A and B are shown apart, each in its own frame.
Chain A
Amino acid sequence: MMSMIERTIYANTQKIKDPTLRGLAESAARLVLENWAYLLFVIVLWRFPYIVADLTDTEVQPRRPTGDSVFWQSEMARALALTCLAMSYNLLFGFSGVISFGHALFFGAGGYVTFIVLNEYDASYQQGALIVVIGITLILALFSRMNVRQLLIIALIGVLLTLLLMPGEGTLSFYQAIGLAVVASIAVSLISGVVTLRLRGIYFAMFTLALAEMFWVLAKSGTFRDITGAEDGLGFRDILPESFNPTPTFDGSRLDMYRLTVVFFVIVFIAIRRYLNSPVGRVMIAIRENEERARTIGYNTFYYKVLTMTFAGVIATLSGLLFVIWATDKRVHPEALSLKYTVDPLLNSLIGGIGTLTGPVIATLGLSLGETYLRNETFTLDTGLFGILTVWQLAVVLVVGLVWWLFRRPLQTGLRRVVDMVRRDTARAATFASGTHGHWALILGYYGLVVLLLLAVGLVIGSEIAHNLEFKGDVYNVSDLWELFLGILFVVVVMALPHGIVGTWNTFWANRRVRRLEQSAQQSAPKGNNSAS
């Protein structure tokens, strides 16, 4: 259907006489046709407060008591900030093959650096910064192979940034503080990249983990309470400019802030997509595929990794700041530097599909909004899911499933023998098992059988346990068990679904296309029996 619409639209653009106009119309049409799903998604995001307001019959603007629309606005905004974090992690891990376990450092830095520079800034720092810029330029002039032009550009950018971000008198503005936070994250990326990226991947993973954990400990400790606020964190409520403050008291700015968040998300998405489709991004993907080969065709892979790391770090820093702005208590806590904000984006990238653009978006939005939706749900151990499976039955299903999975080899062999026997007998009588469809039917039947068996065993044994153990009184909260659920999901995805949701979907269609190409190639070439993995 899509292709028919396409043809009609392109046919219509051909009717335009003026060549410049025609070109414009064509590229506009292409933009819309190739990205209609994304555009639709952005429109839904943009209208999201109104959609919720219509559905729940509440106000878009905050009135006391705050309605559902207002509540979901901030939930969506927080989820979008986390999505940007996950996308930046995926850029590193999925597209470049760089395993960083210290991404939380950048996420936390967004809040901490902004606040700390705002508080601690002194006008005399400008001179110090200028000296540092000159010093760095001198060091580069002495120890690197850069030419004069490159050095001049670096010095110029340094001086300009200093003058722009660090006023010689008075105090910092909020925007300048954000700028400084970005500069800080670039500096950290460059330094840690230069120190460790030359080493084997595993050293890099360990180094980043150690670095982030160290800053977490520093942020938590009481020694620097004056600067970091220790366990309490730092409060943003008083320092946020009105236009950045989505608290219920500021009527107009809240919706604007929501829109700004959506714009930020869209920019990050486009920037990452653009980056991946640029010459640099192509090299990055090549490095992930085969780093040695990338070097032997003439790429200094080190530069590309540092560049990507810096890019990902900046995105993470900004999303960290955004997350603080939308936090209910407007505070940045040491938790923002903790492992949680490395594990979360990692998990979301994995579930959505590492090395895919949309995977982290789908997974993060789904999981964080899902958590919000289920947060106040409670359940007891014997009501369970869908009114059919009690938690006990589910547990038994899981355990039996695990056992089956651990010992699937011998079980499969046994089952296959049975299936082969059946197939031999039926093959003559009917075409059931001989054609390609028979193959699918067999697989479906096999897995269906296994699932049914599991369910049956689970139901029977689970009900027995539930009857014998009187656990009926205990009421559990979904949010208490959410982290555990995520952890188990993590393990299951790593083990069973390495490409994630989007990745598996893409692989499926790619395989089909490849098979078709292979078939056409087979007609010209004698034989091509390797299939895509």
Chain B
Amino acid sequence: MTDKPVILEGHALRKEFGGLVAVADVHIQVRAGSLHSIIGPNGAGKTTLFNLLTGTLKPTSGQVIFKGQDITGEPLHRRVHLGLGRSFQITNIFPSLTVLENVRLAAQALGGDNFKFWAHFKRFKQYTETAVYAITQVGLESQMHVPAVILPHGDQRKLELAILLASDAELLLLDEPTAGMATEQVPMLLEIIQRVRQTGDKTIMLVEHNMNVVMNISDRITVMHLGEVLAEGTPAEITQNETVQKAYLGELYGDFAEIIQEGA
């Protein structure tokens, strides 16, 4: 795994809010083709780190490097064109548009036809095809023409994934993809993530709160604590890491403690 090239790199990333250091000089490397998870308890700075990597927040210092190119100052829309797609922790879709239209817009963003204001959008069939393919991959094809608002929460999360897939990103950054989902639906979503990664030759980085989710599917895990990287390694290494155990066992972090005890 380690021989694959680094696709995304956070170099000495630091973010301060007022005087509060949310992320303190974090180095992180995501290798192409891997599924890399960032975990940590609430307030560990993992969402801030995520936002620094995606460009929603500007770092106080440090760089974000994507495929050897410094993208720290690039605006959000340019990052998508470079191949960096993201999802949101809170469902973030176009509510009154249909599922198909939600995904089709993501496909259209990357084509060169965005400013053709004289032609009907349905003429550009390639985007609709991409969208339909993405929707089929996440299994929403029966709800294609339904307005996105009326989808149940779990399906909206899937729609988010489909939007990401349609934008043809090489690197998918997922912010707590299972947030707010019913427990019995989580395995289904994980299966979709796995399938996407295998069939689409994509790199996935996800931020998770729920430990059970990441242990089985990740190649690498970065554990964050109080704005710093506590440990990084394969799931097996993480479960046996003593610092992680020390830092977490004392806290009321049930999921994590459970898993570590099971692994040990």
> Footprint of B on A, CB under 8 Å?
274-275, 277-283, 285-286, 289-290, 292-301, 303, 307, 311, 510, 514, 517-518, 521, 524-525, 527-533
Q: Quick one: which of A275, A280, A285, A300 contacts B77, CB cutoff 8 A?
A: A300
Chain B, 189-236, CB within 8 A of any chain A CB: none
Does the CB pair B152–A278 fall under 8 Å?
no
Contact A296 B116 (CB under 8 A): no
Task: Select B152's contact among A300, A510, A525, beta carbons within 8 Å.
Answer: A525
Contacts of A277 in B (CB 8 A): 120-122
Bound-state Cα–Cα, A510 to B119, Å = 26
Task: Look across to chain A and name the residue whose beta carbon is closest to the beta carbon of B77.
Answer: A300
Q: List 11 A-B contacts (CB under 8 A).
A: A274-B117, A278-B119, A280-B114, A286-B97, A289-B94, A295-B77, A297-B80, A298-B77, A510-B147, A521-B143, A532-B96
Do A278 and B108 touch across chains, with their CB atoms under 8 A apart? no
Whether, in the assembled complex, B260 has its beta carbon less than 8 Å from a beta carbon of chain A, the answer is no
Most buried by B among A285, A307, A527: A285
Of all chain B residues, the one with the shortest Cβ separation from A529 is B152
List residues of chain A with CB within 8 A of the CB of B116.
278-280
With contacts A514-B146, A528-B151, A530-B149 taken as known, whether A289 is within 8 angstroms of B96 at the C-beta atoms is yes
CB distance from B96 to the nearest CB of A (A): 6
Q: Quick one: which of B45-101 are within 8 Å of A by CB?
A: 54, 75-78, 80-81, 85-86, 88, 92-97, 101
A298 to B86, CA, bound (A): 11
CB contacts (< 8 Å) of A286 on chain B: these are: 94, 97, 105
Question: Which B residues are CB-close (under 8 A) to A274?
Answer: 117-118, 120
User: Is B121 in contact with A278, judged by CB distance below 8 angstroms?
Assistant: yes
B258 interface residue (CB < 8 Å to A): no
* B113 near A290: Cβ-Cβ < 8 Å: no
How far is B105's CA from A300's CA once the two chains are assembled, in angstroms? 13
* Complex contact B150–A530 (CB within 8 A): yes
Note all chain A residues with C-beta closer than 8 A to B151.
528, 530
A300–B75 contact, CB under 8 A? yes
Closest 10 CB pairs of A and B: A298-B80, A298-B109, A289-B94, A280-B117, A297-B106, A278-B117, A295-B76, A300-B77, A528-B152, A293-B92
Most buried by A among B101, B116, B121: B121
Instruction: Report A-chain residues with C-beta under 8 Å of the C-beta of B117.
Output: 274-275, 278-281, 307, 311
Is B253 interfacial (CB-CB < 8 Å)?
no
- Most B-side CB within 10 Å, residue of A280, A510, A524, A531: A280
A299 touches B86 (CB 8 A): no
In the bound complex, CA of A285 to CA of B102 (Å): 11
Name the residue among A274, A290, A298, A311 with the largest chain B CB count within 10 angstroms.
Answer: A298
Complex Cα spacing A278 to B116, Å? 7
- Among A278, A279, A510, A518: residue with most chain B CB under 10 A: A279
- Name the B residues within 8 Å of A278 (CB-CB): 116-121
Binding site of A, secondary structure by majority: helix, strand, loop or mixed? helix
Would A298 and B81 be within 8 Å (CB), given that A279-B115, A532-B147 are in contact?
A: yes
Judge if B110 is at the interface, Cβ distance under 8 Å. Answer: yes
- State A292–B109 Cα separation when bound (angstroms): 14
Instruction: Say yes or no: B114 contacts A283, CB within 8 Å.
Output: yes
- Give the chain A neighbours of B80 by CB distance below 8 A: 296-298
Closest to A507 in B: B96
| Contact residues in B for A525 (Cβ distance below 8 Å) | 152, 155
Contacts A283-B105, A283-B108, A285-B94 known; 7 new A-B pairs at CB < 8 A: A274-B118, A279-B119, A282-B121, A293-B88, A295-B76, A297-B85, A525-B155
B149 touching A290, Cβ below 8 Å: no
Asked if residues A530 and B152 are in contact (CB atoms below 8 Å), the reply is yes
Residues of chain A contacted by B97 (CB below 8 angstroms): 285-286, 289
Q: How far is the CB of B145 from chain A (nearest CB, A)?
A: 7
With a CB–CB cut-off of 8 A, which chain A residues contact B147? 510, 514, 532
A311 to B118, CA, bound (A): 12
A109–B181 CA distance with the chains assembled, in angstroms: 55
- List the A side residues contacting B106 at CB < 8 Å: 297-298
Does B2 make an interface contact (CB < 8 A)? no
Interface pair A282/B108, CB less than 8 Å apart = yes
B152 touching A282 by the CB < 8 A rule?
Answer: no
Docked complex Cα distance between A290 and B152 (Å):
19
- Chain B nearest CB, measured from A300 CB (Å): 5
Q: How many angstroms from the CA of A279 to the CA of B126 in the assembled complex?
A: 13
Q: How far is the CA of A277 from the CA of B104 in the complex (A)?
A: 13
Chain A residues positioned under 8 Å from B155 (CB to CB): 525, 528
A157 shortest CB reach to chain B, Å: 15
B160 nearest in chain A by CB position: A293
Q: How far is the CA of A510 from the CA of B147 in the complex (A)?
A: 10
B97 and chain A: residue at smallest CB distance: A289
**Is B142 an interface position by the 8 A CB rule?**
yes
Out of A282, A293, A524, name the residue touching B93 (CB < 8 Å).
A293
CA A277 – CA B142 in complex, angstroms?
24
Whether the Cβ atoms of B109 and A280 lie closer than 8 Å is no
List the B side residues contacting A530 at CB < 8 Å: 149-152
Residue pair B146, A517 in contact (C-beta under 8 Å)? yes
B94 touches A290 (CB 8 A): yes
CB-CB under 8 A from A281, the residues of chain B are 117, 121
In the complex, whether B244 has a CB less than 8 A from a CB of chain A is no
Judge whether B28 is part of the interface by a CB distance below 8 angstroms: no
Q: Assuming the A-B contacts A282-B105, A286-B97, A290-B93, are A531 and B150 also in contact, with contact meaning beta carbons closer than 8 angstroms in the complex? A: yes
| A518 with B150, Cβ < 8 A, contacts A297-B163, A524-B142 known | yes
Q: Is B167 an interface residue (CB 8 A)?
A: yes
| Given A279-B121, A298-B110, also A293-B94 (CB < 8 A) | yes
- With a cutoff of 8 Å between Cβ atoms, the chain B residues found around residue A528 in the complex are 150-152, 155
A303 and B77 alpha carbons, distance in the complex (Å): 12
Chain A residues with Cβ below 8 Å from B167 are: 297-298
In the bound complex, residues from chain B placing their C-beta under 8 Å from that of A531 are 150
Whether A280 and B86, one on each chain, are in contact in the complex, defined by CB atoms closer than 8 angstroms, is no
CA distance A280 to B118 in the complex (A): 9
The answer to whether B95 touches A289 (Cβ under 8 A) is yes
Q: B143 to A279, Cβ gap below 8 A?
A: no
Structural contact, B150 and A532, CB atoms closer than 8 A: yes
* Bound Cα distance from A149 to B147, whole angstroms: 41
B105: which of A275, A297, A311 is its contact (CB, 8 Å)? Answer: A297
Chain B hits for A292, CB < 8 A: 92
Q: Which residues of A contact B115 (CB under 8 A)?
A: 279-280, 303, 307
Q: Give A292 to B93 CA distance when docked, in angstroms.
A: 10
User: What is the bound-complex CA distance between A279 and B95, given in angstroms?
Assistant: 19
Kindly name the residue among A289, A294, A303 whose own CB sees the greatest number of chain B CB atoms within 10 A.
A289
Which chain B residues (125-144) contact chain A, with CB distance < 8 Å? 142-143
Complexed CA–CA distance, A294 and B118 (Å):
21
What B residues does A280 contact at CB under 8 A? 114-117
Interface contact A279-B114, CB-CB below 8 Å: yes
In the bound complex, what is the Cα–Cα distance between A279 and B81 (angstroms)?
17
Query: Do B124 and A279 touch across chains, with their CB atoms under 8 A apart?
Result: yes
Contacting residues, chain A, for B109 (C-beta < 8 A):
283, 297-299
